[in-house]
Structure 1
Amino acid sequence: GPYFNLGVGLYTKETRSIREETLRRLSEIYGAEKLAVVTGRNRRLAILAIGGLYKHFNDRASVFIADEIMGGAPPTIQKPSPYGIIKSASDMGVPTLIYVGDSAEDIAMAQNASEFGIRTLFVGVTGLTPNPTRARNMFASLGADVIVESVDSLPFIVEEAKKSAA
């Protein structure tokens, strides 16, 4: 018969993908109200996985797709639908944003959001995947704007980009 894991949920084995210092630096660069979570998970599981770091995110602009669907939204809002990005950008009042992800669905969602007028810079993170080389190649072939091993390098990249643009 089918096998069910009735033990502790797999989310408890996840390692946090971002350091608190990184979130502090991003808050300094953009403002605390400009950091949000967009995930296919429900709020409870996402916050359990993020832990105490969730306090750095704008709760009003965060989107938990599973909760939206449970609340009656159509399943078509799941990734790669740009729904989550569009809703979050609207709640933050921004026409442009950076979306960080680790999957093909994430980059497709970011690209789809751009088609709806939300300019979305996609940052592909390879260090969260079992095969970082394959992830890097996939992100490159799909047209990722930036590819990093760790999201913790994002503040440095943003600061360097600002210097280059000046």
Structure 2
Amino acid sequence: MNNQKFDSIIFDCDGVLVDITQSYDKTIDKTCKYILKEYAGIDSITIDHKIIDGFKASGGFNDEVDLTYAAVLSLYVADKLNENPSEFICKVISNTDKTGILSVQSYVKSICDISEFLSKLGSLDDRHRNPVYSIFDQIFFGPELYEKLFEKPSKFSEKGMISNDKVILSVSLLKTLQKEFGKKLAVVTGRGIESIRYSLKDMLNYFDINSSAFLEDEPRALAKPNPAALIRAIQAMGSKNCLYVGDSMEDYMMAKDATAAGNPTTFCAIVGTSTNPEDRRKLFAKSGVQMILESINDIPKVLNLV
């Protein structure tokens, strides 16, 4: 990186600024168990980090609700076919590609009739009516924040899993980066702005909000790895050489596509928040990522800012 002179830095949130292993990851498991029990009478296996990492390695599951939906479909089909659920979901993962939920639906439809179950679940394009989205949001946000965001009560009384977010970002790191990049600090994340503000609080004010993108608040067509939101952020800041910091294959693919579209972007992979950092490091190294760090706290050293 000695020959690089980045003029902006853009961050993903989950797994980068915030450790989500006890928040989003737990919500995936809780939602999957609830949906399968309520809509199909099935007792679900635990959706552990191996399953989550397996789906995410395909590059098509930046959205945790999509991943939950994929797990639900997989386990429903495993039950209908009397297959071992753990073995079958691994088989589904091996047939998943960067199209994400579309590849999962295509595969399970090819071996089992799931039309009746799909009619109960509805389309992921309709967030307000889809039960997977609804249950996921209620479990993740908790009753107070859910009612604030969606203007309707939650059916659950338990504290939201979002309260288990472990914030890695610090004011001291932000001030160090601000000296180098000034106002050219932004966020392009799958979260909505109120969700990220809940966890980062006043630290969000250090970022150029107008140049940032909060994809949960935007159409699904803009979800990662679509580079449109990243390109928009880069161009809004007038950046000529951006460093994008993420933790997933979707992030890497998005950065590569932004570069291919004429917006030079170097990808920095964060692996320390993964439940298996060494496997994540190997995945990125095999894919050609040159900057792989344990934590965002290593960035100032790598960029010779300290």
TM-score by structure 1 length?
0.86
- Within 5 A, what are the aligned runs for 1:34-73? 34-69=184-219
Q: Is the 8 A contact 1:39 1:84 kept in 2?
A: no
Q: Is the 8 A contact 1:80 1:105 kept in 2?
A: yes
Q: Secondary structure in 1 aligned to 2:209?
A: coil
Q: Percent identity?
A: 31
Question: Take 1:100 and 1:111, find their aligned partners in 2: how far apart are those partners?
Answer: 12
Structure 1 gap ranges (5+): 70-74, 161-166
- Please report how far the alpha carbon of residue 48 of structure 1 lies from its aligned counterpart in structure 2 after TM superposition: 1.4
Q: Is the 8 A contact 1:43 1:67 kept in 2?
A: yes
Q: Is the 8 A contact 1:107 1:142 kept in 2?
A: no
- 1:11 is aligned to 162
Further displaced range: 3-12 or 150-159: 3-12
Aligned residues: 154
Q: Is the 8 A contact 1:39 1:65 kept in 2?
A: yes
- 2:180 is aligned to 29
- 1:105 is aligned to 250
- 2:269 is aligned to 124
Question: Take 2:272 and 2:160, find their aligned partners in 1: how far apart are those partners?
Answer: 22
Question: Take 1:139 and 1:10, find their aligned partners in 2: how far apart are those partners?
Answer: 29
Instruction: Name the Cα RMSD after superposition.
Output: 1.6
Structure 2 gap ranges (5+): 1-36, 39-43, 45-134, 140-155
Q: Which structure is larger by alpha-carbon Rg, 1 or 2?
A: 2
Give the AA of the match of 2:197: I
Larger RCO (CA within 8 A; separation ≥ 6): 2
Question: Can you list the C-alpha shifts for 1:77-105, whole angstroms capped at 9, x where unaligned?
Answer: 11011112101111101122111111111
Question: Take 1:50 and 1:86, find their aligned partners in 2: how far apart are those partners?
Answer: 24
Question: Can you list the C-alpha shifts for 1:106-132, whole angstroms capped at 9, x where unaligned?
Answer: 111111111111111111001111111
Is 1:153 aligned to residue 303 of structure 2? no
Q: Secondary structure in 1 aligned to 2:166?
A: coil
Q: Is the 8 A contact 1:95 1:117 kept in 2?
A: no
Q: Secondary structure in 2 aligned to 1:95?
A: coil
Give the AA of the match of 1:102: D
Flag the 1:145–1:50 CA change in 2: closer, same or farther, 3 A.
farther
